[in-house]
């Protein structure tokens, strides 16, 4: 596989059975598939019209705007995915298609730099009148991210120039200064995009605009109140939110209930929260702001220790697609949007950059092997928006759970998740390593290599293994000199061992979960890491009422589930005895090759009555569990992660 | 306590510690309290305005209509309660107040007999234009039921005359005949009311109108489609349902998706279903219609063996306050409206009248000791509309569970439940006995007596016991001759025993769950029934996913629950070991005197993390369970019926 460049100083390659397959899927299936979607060439699916909207604005097609107010962002995420994918899979034809879309954007851009097809076509006189609901700055953010990624891969400036022109307009429009709007987006995204733009260009004004948007959020008098007041005099179409009033959640719905530095609990729409928190951590790092970093840590603790599913899914309620109270984690009616877990990865990466700590990378790993990739089938053609932990046939007819689909969909009218997952997979290697001045941190075990400099020493390390199925990891070090290599000892792992050139290294003295190896490295030093992967029975904190009496199975970072296709229906009637031995075996022909778990279990005998005064009789059955991310790839049906234990 | 007359042939008295107390509460607290509510004399509660609406119609007050479209029914249910209560608690002052309300209704009644304050004040030109949503016939039904009850208690014809005049108008308006509207109510109720009116007056036209409304339901072309079409030309205010379109449930929402004889599954709004099914069973009996009876039995099976909570609560979803699929019985987000369980009692009674069978009376008993009376506090001053089986602190903030109140309310803007429960309690003795030609059936063990004739033989039997806490039951028989006495052997009871005059009687040969004693009875024969009441551990059918791994406690007919005030918070973290002995003891000073259950249990140790690879440590605790119906009478907090078992 080709060399790919994560940033100016690092080159990372992926030679990993698991992730190379996913990256190839994105390159060969998802990108072309989404390109068709964006161009309305998929039969029997909700049309996108996203490219056509740009054509109409550019005067190159006739017709009306169609789509959500944030339709532009689908094009942006596709371009961003293309940018990452081109690093590993150069494809001149694809690059040309991308260049053409970028050129179209340039032609669609207004004289003054403005670029949003919804407003340009539907409400040309109402720019910046509904930041609360209409995703204008959100779309700008995704376009900026795409432009940065495209520039970093291709070295081409066109897209970056378009976006910097747009950002200049945004900077002239928003800010604390008199005569500017003191607004900020209802849906965060531009904040982290501007920070990336700052990193790519070195222009401090981009950082300052990001800081403005972050700090202005939730200040009083409340901008969204004033904006709403002003909107009364406009002839603007009503939005979903005019009636829903933030789903009864107030401005907490968009994390604008308080200035961010006063926020102590994760609230509201989970995706918005992730994007905001990621930007806050990014800003804290760029400005060396310990106070803001501390806020991020309080929020991290709240999310990951009180409001996160075992899959790294986020969002307990469909109402507002939002967090609810601590420990409220229903498995069947939750939201767990793919985008939220993707956002959690972005945030985790930013936290790692602030301060390497296993508490961040463990969650990052949990997300990438579970609640993110569950959002796509193994063919890259169907997608989950909502990722349930449990699907029961008897709930299929519930009107209040219509958001929980029992099978993946081809596309969505609101198509945020598929391209979001695609851009994560295409750039998965960006999350494997971080560096400090004297240390190279390995957070993820993704086979392949990184070339970088530690201090002035050129270093290359190469991981070799079959993670996540087996974790005998060999790391070859190329680089001569004194520097530190830090390896994450996964939080799930008991009995890890390490050696250098065959000589055991103690691992009792970890630094925040990392084994830090400092020495005068010589050519071809070899590190061996061993992370035993017995099947783990995972139990919930008793505070999570929904999971009591139940056990989840995890092996390495992979969470398992039972599916109807393997275990029959009525999965809630199955029992896993505490003493049952659970076997694990790699099955090459199943689900692209996965480790399957099997155990002797029981099935409670059903009856004709609802309630009875004796325990149901139990029948012996063989339980078969597959990795959660791969569920619903053979046959639709029931699924559950948490299994009743006896 | 005074003699009370259930119907012309039976006189039933209640001398029962449990029910006399409730009946007294209704007479002394609930009726005066609800009278104040109806007259807007309760501070800090939603106003009712129900009496004032009648005054305005009668031209005796000025002002506008206020309340739901079915506000009149609150007055009706109050009058019906008063009628029953006066049988046990004569109260000339109360009777005078009732007479005055009835007189006011007479003055409000239109020349042509029409009587509905909403339409008379708000939409005078739109009578009968929205049967689907506006409860016009429903209100008429409740007024008819009240009029029948008031006539039966007092012998006064005034109310009955008012309603018969109204019914005449309804009969001239609705029917299959040309020139009539072929409509029927969106909310069933008038059907069973008309059957009661038939029973009270002997006028067959009332039965025929009831039969018309029942049989016309769900016929094609669909009346509600045509009515909606016609309504387009009216300037009528939009209703909740114009937007909600039957909560996405179609006409199944009001059981009008099919003609009733084709219905095989309980669907839609649970209260509507109960009232309809009760009327269908009533009609089947009055017309000796075996086909319709069979339909009722299929529906009974579906409700009680697939869709009923252990409390006899009905309605698994707030959306449509409705049934969902079989075995979908969530304990925390359900509806379980008090009115639905009250309606289940009415239906069960009608099924028993059709065919005495324990499968009906067991459910009837389950309802009266659990999911109905849980709707009122022990002071008779606060009410639950929705009766959860589980309340968790961590769910209190959920917007989608705002219907689940964590404490009883003083009154409701939609105040159907409190007066519905009051009329049930005031007439509880109506459900204790039924008769066939040669047999007197005792369905409920409510201490007191019944005087009746079996064939030509005058018979009085007197029950003496302390049910539901102890079930050593003595029945004294007064009546000389040959007749059959049938006693329900409760379905929950194992090891029942019976004797006559001290001589054991075999109970192996039950007839549909009834011990039928046939002999030449002599004066002062005494029957002893013994129903052992060990604490039972109740398990769910494995098809109910939500209750797996959990146990409910029941003793006699009473279902128990854990409350936070006794057991601390985080009740889901408690465990009841399978081998723990559960003790039962009557505690006179607790909750008006109840049997309390105690057992050695465990509490899982909480942790700071969400998920861990070892079982939480367990601490020994004493578990204390109280009768479910009495929860939330001491301190608001968590509650749960289903307890995790180890």
Strand A594-604, strand A618-627: pairing: antiparallel
Strand order in the sheet with B457-466: B4-7, B10-14, B448-454, B457-466, B470-478, B525-530, B497-500, B503-505
A570 and chain B in contact, CB less than 8 A: yes
Nearest-5° Cα angle at B393, B390 to B396: 90
Distance CA A91, CA B585 (A): 80
The ipTM is: 0.94
Q: Which ranges constitute the DSSP H helices of A122-219?
A: 136-154, 158-173, 190-201, 204-216
pLDDT above 50 for A423: yes
Nearest CA distance, A418 vs chain B (angstrom): 27
Q: Cβ-count burial of A178 within 10 angstroms (0-12 exposed, 13-18 middle, 19+ buried)?
A: exposed
- Which chain B residues contact residue A536 at CB under 8 A? 613
Res B411: pLDDT: 64
- Which chain B residues contact residue A570 at CB under 8 A? 542-543, 545
Distance CA A171, CA A162 (A): 14
Interface of A with B in 301-320 (CB under 8 A): 304-306, 308, 310, 317-320
The pLDDT of A160-175, averaged and rounded, is 98
Interface of A with B in 103-142 (CB under 8 A): none
Distance CA B482, CA B521 (A): 6
pLDDT above 50 for B1: no
User: DSSP strand E in B372-480: where?
Assistant: 390-391, 433-435, 439-442, 448-454, 457-466, 470-478
The residues of B annotated with a catalytic role in the active site are 321, 416
pLDDT above 80 for B585: yes
Strand B481-488, strand B470-478: pairing: unpaired
pTM for this structure? 0.95
Query: Do the chains contact at A611 and B570, CB–CB below 8 Å?
Result: no
Nearest CA distance, A277 vs chain B (angstrom): 21
A397 and chain B in contact, CB less than 8 A: yes
The pLDDT of B77-94, averaged and rounded, is 96
Helix axes B338-354, B358-366, angle to 10 degrees: 160
End-to-end CA distance of chain B: 48
Q: Which residues contact B246 (CB under 8 A, 6 or more apart)?
A: B252, B253, B254, B320
The pLDDT of A580-606, averaged and rounded, is 97
* Banded model confidence at residue A281, pLDDT cuts 50, 70, 90: very high
Nearest-5° Cα angle at B484, B479 to B487: 105
Tokens 């604490």 appear where? B535
CB A562 within 8 A of CB A640: yes
Res B6: pLDDT: 40
Q: What is the count of residue pairs from A and B with beta carbons less than 8 Å apart?
A: 187
Interface of A with B in 528-557 (CB under 8 A): 536-546, 548-550, 552, 554
Res A411: pLDDT: 64
Question: pLDDT digit string (tens) for B381-411?
Answer: 899 999 999 999 999 989 999 999 888 887 6
* Banded model confidence at residue B412, pLDDT cuts 50, 70, 90: low
Give chain A's mean pLDDT: 95
Helix (H) or strand (E) holding A582: strand A582-587
Res B312: pLDDT: 98
End-to-end CA distance of chain A: 47
The residues of A annotated with a catalytic role in the active site are 321, 416
The pLDDT of A168-178, averaged and rounded, is 97
B247 and chain A in contact, CB less than 8 A: yes
pLDDT above 80 for A98: yes
Res A409: pLDDT: 83
The pLDDT of A215-219, averaged and rounded, is 98
- Which chain A residues contact residue B319 at CB under 8 A? 398-400
pLDDT above 60 for A3: no
Distance CA B482, CA B463 (A): 20
DSSP-derived letter for residue A455 is: T
Query: Do the chains contact at B644 and A304, CB–CB below 8 Å?
Result: no
pLDDT above 70 for A273: yes
pLDDT above 80 for A615: yes
Helix axes B338-354, B417-426, angle to 10 degrees: 40
3-class SS of residue A248: helix
Question: pLDDT digit string (tens) for A124-158?
Answer: 999 999 999 999 999 999 999 999 999 999 999 99
Helix, strand, coil fractions of chain A, as percent rounded to 5: 40, 20, 40
Which candidate, A447, A444, A443, places its Cα nearest to that of A464? A447
CB B396 within 8 A of CB A325: yes
* Banded model confidence at residue B413, pLDDT cuts 50, 70, 90: low
Query: Do the chains contact at B308 and A610, CB–CB below 8 Å?
Result: yes
* Banded model confidence at residue B414, pLDDT cuts 50, 70, 90: low
Distance CA B581, CA A272 (A): 51
The string of DSSP codes covering A75-89 is HHHHHHHHHHHHHHS
Res A110: pLDDT: 98
pLDDT above 70 for A325: yes
Q: Cβ-count burial of B212 within 10 angstroms (0-12 exposed, 13-18 middle, 19+ buried)?
A: buried
Helix (H) or strand (E) holding A623: strand A618-627
pLDDT above 90 for A526: yes
- Which chain B residues contact residue A616 at CB under 8 A? 539, 541-542
Question: pLDDT digit string (tens) for A432-468?
Answer: 999 999 999 999 999 999 999 998 899 999 999 999 9
CB B639 within 8 A of CB B626: no
Distance CA A27, CA A41 (A): 18
B217 and chain A in contact, CB less than 8 A: no
Res A413: pLDDT: 62
Indicate the length of chain B as a whole number.
646
Handedness of CA A8, A9, A15, A19 (dihedral sign): negative
The pLDDT of B533-552, averaged and rounded, is 97
Query: Do the chains contact at A610 and B542, CB–CB below 8 Å?
Result: no
| Residue B445, preceding peptide bond in cis (omega within 30° of 0) | no
The pLDDT of A164-193, averaged and rounded, is 97
Res B371: pLDDT: 97
Tokens 């990993």 appear where? A16
Res B5: pLDDT: 33
Give chain B's mean pLDDT: 95
- Which chain A residues contact residue B300 at CB under 8 A? none
Handedness of CA A411, A415, A417, A420 (dihedral sign): positive
Question: pLDDT digit string (tens) for B234-265?
Answer: 888 888 787 768 999 999 999 999 999 999 99
pLDDT above 50 for A77: yes
The pLDDT of B419-438, averaged and rounded, is 95
pLDDT above 90 for B527: yes
The pLDDT of B118-147, averaged and rounded, is 97
pLDDT above 80 for B360: yes
* Banded model confidence at residue A5, pLDDT cuts 50, 70, 90: very low
Query: Do the chains contact at B539 and A326, CB–CB below 8 Å?
Result: no
Helix (H) or strand (E) holding B566: helix B564-567
Which candidate, A1, A12, A14, A25, places its Cα nearest to that of A422? A25
* Banded model confidence at residue B471, pLDDT cuts 50, 70, 90: confident
Within 10 angstroms of residue B1's Cβ, the number of other Cβ atoms is 14
Say which of A308, A390, A549 has its CB closest to residue B549: A549
Res B237: pLDDT: 81
3-class SS of residue A122: coil
Instruction: Please report how many Cα atoms fall inside a 13 Å half-sphere around the Cα of residue B174, on the Cβ side.
Output: 30
Question: pLDDT digit string (tens) for B211-234?
Answer: 999 999 999 999 999 999 998 888
Q: How many helices (H) and strands (E) does chain B have?
A: 18, 23
DSSP-derived letter for residue A314 is: B
Tokens 């579970």 appear where? A370
Residue A507 in tokens:
């691992």
């Amino acid at each position: 596989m080709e060399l790919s460049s994560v940033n100016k100083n690092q080159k990372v390659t992926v030679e990993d059975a698991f992730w190379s397959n996913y990256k190839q899927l994105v390159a060969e299936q998802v990108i072309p598939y989404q390109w068709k979607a964006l161009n309305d060439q998929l039969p029997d699916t909700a049309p996108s019209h996203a490219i056509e909207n740009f054509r109409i604005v550019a005067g190159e097609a006739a017709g009306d705007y169609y789509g959500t107010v944030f339709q532009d962002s689908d094009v942006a995420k596709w371009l961003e995915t293309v940018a990452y994918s081109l690093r590993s899979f150069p494809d001149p034809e694809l690059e040309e298609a991308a260049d053409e879309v970028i050129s179209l954007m340039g032609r669609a851009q207004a004289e003054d730099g403005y670029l949003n097809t919804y407003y340009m076509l539907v409400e040309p006189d109402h720019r910046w009148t509904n930041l609360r609901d209409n995703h204008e700055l959100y779309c700008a953010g995704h376009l900026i991210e795409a432009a940065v990624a495209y520039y970093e891969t291709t070295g081409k400036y066109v897209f970056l120039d378009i976006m910097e022109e747009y950002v200049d307009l945004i900077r002239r429009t928003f800010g604390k200064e008199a005569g500017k709007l003191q607004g900020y987006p209802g849906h965060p995204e531009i904040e982290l995009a501007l920070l990336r733009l700052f990193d790519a260009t070195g222009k401090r004004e981009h950082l300052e605009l990001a800081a403005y948007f972050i700090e202005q959020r939730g200040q009083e008098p409340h901008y969204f109140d004033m904006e709403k007041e002003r909107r009364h005099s406009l002839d603007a179409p009503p939005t979903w939110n005019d009636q829903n009033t933030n789903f009864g959640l107030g401005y907490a719905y968009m994390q604008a209930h308080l200035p961010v530095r006063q926020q102590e609990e994760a609230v509201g729409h989970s995706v918005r929260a992730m994007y905001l928190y990621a930007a806050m951590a990014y800003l804290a790092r760029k400005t060396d702001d310990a106070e803001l970093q501390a806020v991020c840590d309080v929020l991290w603790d709240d999310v990951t220790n009180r409001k996160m599913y075992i899959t790294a899914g986020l969002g307990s309620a469909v109402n507002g697609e939002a967090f609810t109270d601590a420990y409220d984690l229903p498995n069947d009616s939750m939201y767990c949007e793919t985008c939220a877990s993707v956002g959690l990865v972005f945030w985790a990466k930013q936290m790692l950059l602030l301060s390497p700590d296993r508490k961040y990378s463990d969650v990052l790993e949990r997300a990438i092997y579970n609640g993110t990739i569950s959002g796509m089938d193994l063919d890259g053609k169907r997608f989950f928006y909502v990722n349930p932990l449990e699907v029961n046939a008897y709930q299929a007819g519930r009107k209040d759970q219509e958001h929980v689909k029992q099978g993946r969909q081809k596309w969505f009218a609101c198509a945020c998740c598929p391209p979001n997952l695609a851009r994560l997979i295409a750039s998965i290697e960006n999350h494997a390593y971080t560096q400090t001045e004297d240390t190279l941190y390995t957070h993820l075990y993704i086979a392949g290599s990184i070339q970088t400099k530690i201090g002035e020493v050129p270093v290359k390390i190469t991981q070799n293994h079959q993670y996540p199925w087996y974790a005998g990891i060999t790391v070859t070090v190329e680089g001569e000199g004194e520097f530190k290599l830090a390896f994450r000892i996964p939080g799930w792992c008991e009995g890890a061992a390490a050696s250098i050139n065959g000589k055991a290294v103690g691992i009792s003295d970890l630094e925040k979960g990392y084994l830090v190896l400092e020495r005068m490295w010589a050519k071809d030093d070899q590190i061996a890491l061993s992370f035993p992967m017995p099947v783990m029975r995972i139990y919930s904190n008793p505070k999570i009422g929904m999971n009591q009496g139940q056990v989840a199975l995890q092996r390495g970072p992979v969470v398992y589930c039972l599916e109807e296709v393997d275990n029959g229906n009525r999965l809630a009637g199955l029992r896993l005895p505490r003493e049952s031995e659970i076997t694990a075996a790699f099955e090459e022909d199943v689900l692209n090759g996965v480790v399957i778990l099997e155990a002797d279990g029981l099935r409670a005998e059903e009856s004709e009555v609802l309630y009875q005064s004796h325990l149901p009789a139990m029948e012996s059955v063989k339980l078969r569990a597959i990795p959660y991310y791969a569920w619903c790839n053979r046959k639709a049906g029931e699924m559950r992660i948490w299994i009743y234990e006896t």
